[in-house]
Structure 1
Amino acid sequence: LVGSGPKADAVKRRRRTSAPAAPAATAAAAAPAEPVESHDIWIDPAAVSHSGRGPQAPVAGADPRPTLGGAITGLVSKVLAKPPVRKIARDLGIDLADVVPTGARGEVTREDLVSYQAQRDAELDKADTFWGKTGRPQEQRIEKIPVKGVRKATARAMVESAFAAPHVSIFVDVDASRTMEFVKRLKASRDFEGIKVSPLLILAKAVIWAAARNPSVNASWVDAKDGSDSAEIHVKHFMNLGIAAATPRGLMVPNIKNAQDLSLKELALALNELATTARAGKTQPAQMQGGSLTITNIGALGIDTGTPIINPGEVAIVAFGTIKQKPWVLDGEVIPRWITTLGGSFDHRVVDGDLSARFMADVASILEEPALLLD
C-alpha cells in the first residue's frame, strides 16, 4: 500500500491447543503488528502474503516491525531448476533468471539452456558484422576513431589547399589504344623483363613532357612572409613527380626526385619502388617533400574521372581514369577503342584557362601517340 492513513488495529490470533507451540513461540506472547514506515512508503506486514497462505502473524519474540527489505525479499520466488541444469548454467555463464522456463512445474530445463545459448551465440555473431547489434541505441553503435598521424596531416593540407588556392578543373577524353599497344610491347621486351609496366608509366612520361612545354604548371604560389599582400610565382626547372598512393596509414603523395632525367626504364623502376614502399608503410617524410606536380591514378579503382584537390605547394594535379573499351568514331566509323578520361585541377592564380587546356591537350596527345616521346 502506498500513502498514509490510520494505523491498522493490532492483529491477534487464537492460541492453538491441538499442537505444541515451538520453543521460540512460548517465550513471549504475540505482539501487535504495526506498519513499517520508510519515508512516504509503508507496508503493513499483515497484508504481505507468504507462499499463498494469506496474512501471517508476527513470530513470537521477533521484532514486530520487520524491515522493508525483508518484506520485499519474501515476495521474490526462487528460479526452479534441477542441479544438473544449474551446473550447465554455471559452466556457460548463464543467469537462470534470464532464461524463459518451459518445464511442467515452471522449471528451467536443459533444452531451455540450449535454446538460450543458441540465441546468444546468434546475437554475438551478428555483433561481429559491420552493422553490429541493431537492437542497441544508435549512439552506442558509433565507432570513434581519433584523427592523428598521416590522416591528420593530410586533412590539414587538403583544407589549406582547397580554401587557399582557387581550383579550376577541366576534362578530356582520350583514345589510349596506341598506349595500350605500346605497353604490351614493353612487357614483351627483354629490356623490361621483370619490371612492372602499366599505362601509368606512359602518363607519367607524358606529364613530364607536357610540363616542359608549359612550364607554369610546374610551379608554386608563394605568399610574402612579412604578412603583406605581395606574392611570387616560383617556376621549378626540375620535376619532382608526385604519385598519390593509398596506404594503410592513409593517403600519401611521395614524389620521384628529378623525374625529368630518368629514362623510360628508370622511370618504371622508380614507380615500382615508390608503390612498393608506400604499400609497406615505409615512405619517409623526405620522400613526400618538395613535390612539383602530382598524378592520382583513380583508374586503378575503376573510376572514370574526378576533380582532385591540388597538393599543397603545387599548382596542378592530373587524375588518370580507368581505361575501357568504348565505341569511338575513327575516320567516320564507329569502332571499339581503349578510351580514358583525364581530369586536371589547377590553381587559377597561376594557371589560366588557356594554359591548363594546352597542358591537358599535350598530355592527351602522348597517350594517343606515344611515338611523340621520341621527338
Structure 2
Amino acid sequence: MTTTATVKEFRLPDLGEGLTESEIVQWHVAEGDTVELNQVIADVETAKAVVELPSPYAGVVVRLHEAAGTVVDVGAPIVSFAVAGEPEVAPVPSAGEERPAKREPNLVGYGAAVEKGGRPQRRSRLLSAARPAGAPPVPARRERPRSTPPVRKLARDLGIPLDGLAGTGPGALITRADVLAALAGTAGSPVAAPTEGVVPPVRQAARSAAGETRTPIRGVRKHTAAAMVASAFTAPHVTEFLTLDVTPTMDLLAELKQSRAFEGTRITLLALVAKAVCIAVARNPSLNSSWDEEAQEIVQYADVNLGIAAATPRGLLVPNIKAAQALALVELARSLGSLAETARAGKTPPTDLAGGTISITNIGVFGIDAGTPILNPGEAAILAVGAVRSMPWEYQGAVALRSVLTLSLSFDHRLVDGEQGSRFLADVGTILRNPAMVLAMV
C-alpha cells in the first residue's frame, strides 16, 4: 500500500494573549529538516515574553515562509510541512474558522510538551517515499519576497512590486528603505510606475540624522507602553510615601543569611518586604482587588498573586508568584530567585505574567529613593521599595546613624480609599521597622 504526502501550512496562532502579531526571533529548523510532533521549531516573541513554538505535525519542513526577525500577523502562514498520510494534528484555525476535533500542539507554557530529540536531520526521503510510483514531484511554491506586513502594504500603496527587489535587511529582508529607494529610482531592480493618484509619504522615515538610532517599538516594550498608558489614564492613581528606620530588619536579614534554614537560598530585603506585603494585605484586603468595568463590580481576591517588576534586556516584565500568602519566607525567597532568573533569560511563561493582584517594584537596586509607580493594569496597588541608606536618624531620644528607606505606594482610588491605603502602608512599615511586631499582627 502506497502512502501520499500532503503539504500542510502552519499559520501563526494566537498564543493565548489576544495578539495580532508576533516576531519570529529564531528558527530551530531549516527547509528539508525532519521534525517530530511538538518538537520546538521556533522562538516567537509575544507582547510579553519569548515562547517556544512547537511543531503541529510530524514530517518534513518544505518551506519557511518568513525569516527570523520578521514581525508576522496572527493567522499568516509561517511554515509548510510535507506530512505522510493523515496529519498528526490539524493546524490552529484562524479567527472565524471551526476548530477541528483533533488535539492541538502543546504550546510551551500552556501544557506539557513532548520531549524533543536531538538535532533534526536534513532528508528528502520522506517527500519521495510519500509520492506514488511514477507520480510527478510535488511542485515547489514560488518564493514570495521576504518583507513585513507594513512594508508590503507600503509597496502596494505606492505601486512598487516586491518581485525582483533586493532586500538590504537581515536575511535579505525587504525593508521600508528598499521600497522608498525603488520609488526614487535608486534601486538596481526594475520598478513599476506608482499607481495613479498615490502620493508618496512626505516623511522620509528611512533617513536618520547623523548619530541617530531608531529602534522599532514592538514586543515587550510595545505591550508595556500600551499597558502603562491605559493604566495611567484609566485608574485614578494616588501615591503615598513613608520613610522609616529599617535597621532591625537589616539586622534580621544578616542573621537569616547565616541561618541553616536558608542555606543555599539567596535571601534579600525584597523577600522580607514581600512577606510584609502579604501580611498587610490580609489586614487590608481592598488592596488585593480589581475593577470590573463591564460588570460594574469590585472583585476581591482570596490569593495574593504577588507581581515583581523585573527589568530585562527585552523590557519590563511583571511576573507574579501565585498564592504568595501561603508561602513560608524561605519558599518566598526561592520563588523570587527563580522568577528573576527566568525573566532575565527571557523564558518567563505567559502563565506567570497573567493573573497578578498586587505588585512590588524594587527601585532601590538602581540607587533611587522614591517614585510614583504606575499600576500594573488590573491591579489595585503597587509598592516601590527605595534604596537603603545610612542616615542620621532620631533613635531613643538621640541622633544615631541608622538604615533608612522610603516606601512609595500607588493605588487605584476607585478601589482603595485613602484610609485603607494609608493603613496598608503603615502595616508594611510597622513590620519593617520592627519585625517582631508580626507576632501582634497575625
Structure 2 partner of 1:234: 299
RMSD: 1.2
Bigger CA radius of gyration = 1
1:325 aligns to what SS in structure 2?
A: strand
Indicate yes or no: 2:246 matched with 1:181.
no
1:141 aligns to what SS in structure 2?
A: coil
Distance 2:230 2:409 in 1: 19
1:194 deviates by: 1.4
* 1:138/1:281 CA distance change after superposition, 3 Å: closer
Distance 1:281 1:370 in 2: 35
Indicate yes or no: 2:437 matched with 1:365.
no
Distance 2:286 2:410 in 1: 14
Indicate yes or no: 2:312 matched with 1:247.
yes
1:174 deviates by: 1.2
How many residue pairs align between the two structures?
234
Structure 2 partner of 1:150: 220
Long gaps (5+) in structure 2:
1-206
Q: Which of 309, 332, 341 matches 1:276?
A: 341
Distance 1:138 1:338 in 2: 49
Indicate yes or no: 2:403 matched with 1:333.
no
2:356 aligns to what SS in structure 1?
A: coil
More helix by share: 1
Indicate yes or no: 2:269 matched with 1:204.
no
What is the letter of the counterpart of residue 360 of structure 2? I
Q: TM-score, structure 2 length as denominator?
A: 0.52
Q: Which of 318, 340, 345 matches 2:383?
A: 318
Indicate yes or no: 2:231 matched with 1:161.
yes
What is the letter of the counterpart of residue 162 of structure 1? A
What is the letter of the counterpart of residue 140 of structure 1? A
Structure 1 partner of 2:285: 215
Structure 2 partner of 1:139: 209
What is the letter of the counterpart of residue 150 of structure 1? V
The answer to whether the 8 A contact 1:202-1:370 is kept is no
Indicate yes or no: 2:253 matched with 1:193.
no
Structure 1 partner of 2:138: none
Distance 2:345 2:208 in 1: 36
2:297 aligns to what SS in structure 1?
A: strand
Structure 2 partner of 1:33: none
What is the letter of the counterpart of residue 347 of structure 1? D
Structure 1 partner of 2:147: none
Indicate yes or no: 2:351 matched with 1:286.
yes
Distance 1:307 1:173 in 2: 14
Q: TM-score, structure 1 length as denominator?
A: 0.61
Distance 2:306 2:438 in 1: 17
1:373 deviates by: 2.9
Long gaps (5+) in structure 1:
1-136, 226-230
1:104-159 Cα distance to aligned partner (Å, 9 max, x none): xxxxxxxxxxxxxxxxxxxxxxxxxxxxxxxxx98233211101111111111000
More strand by share: 2
1:330 deviates by: 1.4
1:164 aligns to what SS in structure 2?
A: coil
Aligned sequence identity (%): 54
1:360 aligns to what SS in structure 2?
A: helix
Structure 2 partner of 1:264: 329
